Amino acid sequence: MPADLSIIKNIIKHASVNELIPRYTQVTAEYKADGSLVTEADIAMQNAIAAALQEQYPDTILLSEEMSKEEQQQALVAQSPVWCLDPLDGTSNFAAGIPYFAVSLSLIHHQKVIMGVVYDPIRDEFFSASDAQAAQLNNESLQTNKSLTDIKKAIALIDFKRLKPELSTRLVQQQAFASQRNFGASALDWCWLAANRGQLYLHGRQNIWDYSAGQYIFEKAGGHSCTLDGETVFINQLKGRSVVAACNETLHSNWMDWINETH
């Protein structure tokens, strides 16, 4: 289905200006059943974006992080195109006043991602890509680093929380990379990799709304990724996926080789 990126960006920015930024540092977070945080901003953003998408694209179904598992599953198995939305990726950062969070939206059709948009409202940065458009940051082309092949010279974005203890221990003790970061918003992590603000990535578990838009943008920019088991990251399921990514094929292969010595 055709979808106009300019319309999608306007919807996301309008919701961010009206629902997200006014609540920044002024919200109370609550814990969901799975232990993750949710704020008033998450729900307000979901409602605002859902309503605007429904008006513009009435034949497209919504799958959002804040929906029930039953509703999410029904959306994935439907024959219609699906908007996959994380209305506030990095809720913990948002609630704590840490300026690293984003809105993430992908379009899934025939069980494939065909468009991705990630918006950082603090920096006013739109990362986007579609089957008809290369990866971009605020309408400027994105291309990952093709020349870096030594993991010892790379900045690694690593989420230790969901990794197996033996791998986490080895990462700390051996430090195969130049330096390490952990920012706390998966969709934005992918986009920072696409923008060469990091070259390696490792994450133990992401949900489809965490990775679908960002991973699509990253790979359209030239990056490579797979799960810890060497499988394709994106699957049209609710099942969580691990991530091993790097800014080019050779660096990714070297990163996987190092990880597999433990994994």
Coil, strand or helix at 216 = helix
Domain 5-141 sits in CATH at 3.30.540.10
Domain 151-260 sits in CATH at 3.40.190.80
d(CA 173, CA 158): 14
Token pair for residue 222? 């030239």
**Cβ count within 10 A of residue 184:** 19
DSSP 224: E
Q: Do domains 5-141 and 151-260 have the same CATH topology?
A: no
- In which band, very low, low, confident or very high, does the pLDDT at 79 lie, cut at 50, 70 and 90? confident
pLDDT given for residue 35 in this prediction: 55
Instruction: Report the pLDDT averaged over residues 222-236.
Output: 97
Share of the chain above pLDDT 90, in %: 85
Is residue 27 within 8 Å of residue 110, measured between CB atoms?
Answer: no
User: What are 167-221's pLDDT values in tens digits?
Assistant: 999 999 998 999 999 999 999 999 999 999 999 999 999 999 999 999 999 999 9
The H-or-E segment that residue 106 falls in is strand 102-109
User: What are 138-161's pLDDT values in tens digits?
Assistant: 999 999 999 999 999 999 999 999
pLDDT given for residue 241 in this prediction: 97
How is the chain split into domains, by residue range? Answer: 5-141, 151-260
| pLDDT higher than 90, residue 77 | no
- In which band, very low, low, confident or very high, does the pLDDT at 39 lie, cut at 50, 70 and 90? confident
Task: Provide the whole-model pTM.
Answer: 0.94
Q: Please give the C-alpha separations between residue 261 and each of 135, 166, 256, in angstroms, as whole numbers.
A: 33, 11, 9
Is residue 236 within 8 Å of residue 108, measured between CB atoms?
Answer: yes
What number of CA atoms fall less than 13 Å from residue 138's CA on the CB side? 6
Q: Kindly report the average pLDDT of the chain as a whole number.
A: 93
